Chains A and B, each alone.
Chain A
Amino acid sequence: MEEANQVLFWLGPLAVTSRVTTMWGKILVLTLLSALATRNMKEVPGKLQNVAEMAVGKLQDYYRGTLGEELCKKYFNVFATFFIFIIVSNYSGLLPGMGHLRGMSVPTAGLSVTAGLALCGFFTNHVIGVKERGFKRYFLGVLTSMTVPLFFLAVIEQIVRPFSLALRLYGNLYGEETVTENLYVVFPLLLPLVMQILSLLFCLIQALVFTMLLSIYVREALE
């Protein structure tokens, strides 16, 4: 774990580790792809634009299912950003050299990154609630919709939610990395491949679970 998180250089008081540089690389790749896909948009799309349209269409169907029509139209960008960020950084663990080369390290396999994502999700949740209902109505609605003994449980649950989101994502990805390394130590030729095939499925599931939980929390906060 030490070699995967070396501090590369310092930008003022902030330490830039290999996870941060991987995230920068990922941002560059995604920005490049989006710019290429939306340049000269035609009625009958070319290949890259077609793929991008399919991806966005599928995401919109998925979120319309949990959020409902009007919320989806307004806040689709936020949730789609979460999803694309998490799924691209999960799958970056399958690239050769991840975690061993200097400057390349899976971002979401570090607790700091997933905790940051969970905090962003928490604030997104409440800011959307306040935006939709107004400050007083939102908090009064939350307080009066439950009886007194349930109140403490509900407050505790609200506080625990970002923790569980962060730990779930971090634990899954860090576990995948560690198991792959240990399998490599046992039998270097084909055994790590088994775990990597399994992690194809699990990375996708974890991204889905994170974003679906976020959208369910937002939906529930506005009921």
Chain B
Amino acid sequence: MTSGIIAIAAALCIAVSTIFPSIAQGRTASKAMEAIARQPEAAGDIRSTLILSLGLMEALTIYGLLIAFMLVAKV
């Protein structure tokens, strides 16, 4: 019984923790594209800031993935 609950917890953990960071990353990318379209000569600056922000948000999903790995090891 507990092994079943741990399995469900691991699946739920990774599934839920990708929802909000992906929404946020989508918004960031769309604003970055608007900014590049409005001012193409600042494209280099905007691109590096975009990559940095995407990396920071990706980390939140990775924290959830790590917990899921630790739970899967205990199933």
Stretch at the interface among B2-10, B22-30, B35-43, B61-69: B61-69
- Are B62 and A175 in contact (CB-based, < 8 A)? yes
- Are B66 and A171 in contact (CB-based, < 8 A)? yes
State whether the Cβ of B46 lies closer than 8 Å to any Cβ in chain A.
no
- Are A172 and B58 in contact (CB-based, < 8 A)? yes
Q: Which residues of chain A are near B58, meaning CB under 8 Å? A: 168, 172
Interface size on A, residues (CB 8 A): 17
- Are B51 and A167 in contact (CB-based, < 8 A)? no
Q: How far is the CB of A192 from chain B (nearest CB, A)?
A: 18
- Are A205 and B65 in contact (CB-based, < 8 A)? no
Q: How far is the CB of B32 from chain A (nearest CB, A)?
A: 15
What CA separation (Å) do A209 and B63 show in the bound complex?
Answer: 16
**CB contact between B52 and one of A172, A175, A178, A212 (< 8 Å): that residue:** A212
Q: How far is the CB of A178 from chain B (nearest CB, A)?
A: 7
Q: How far is the CB of B40 from chain A (nearest CB, A)?
A: 18
- Are B63 and A208 in contact (CB-based, < 8 A)? no
State whether the Cβ of A81 lies closer than 8 Å to any Cβ in chain B.
no
Q: Which 7 A-B pairs have the closest CB atoms?
A: A209-B55, A171-B62, A168-B59, A171-B66, A175-B65, A212-B52, A205-B55
- Chain A residues with a Cβ under 8 A of chain B: 62, 65, 164, 167-168, 170-172, 174-175, 178, 205-206, 208-209, 212-213
- Chain B residues with a Cβ under 8 A of chain A: 45, 48, 51-52, 54-56, 58-59, 62-63, 65-66, 69
Q: Can you list 28 A-B pairs with a CB-CB distance of less than 8 A?
A: A62-B48, A65-B48, A164-B59, A167-B59, A167-B62, A167-B66, A168-B55, A168-B58, A168-B59, A168-B62, A171-B59, A171-B62, A171-B63, A171-B65, A171-B66, A172-B58, A174-B66, A174-B69, A175-B62, A205-B54, A205-B55, A206-B55, A208-B51, A208-B55, A209-B52, A209-B55, A213-B52, A213-B56
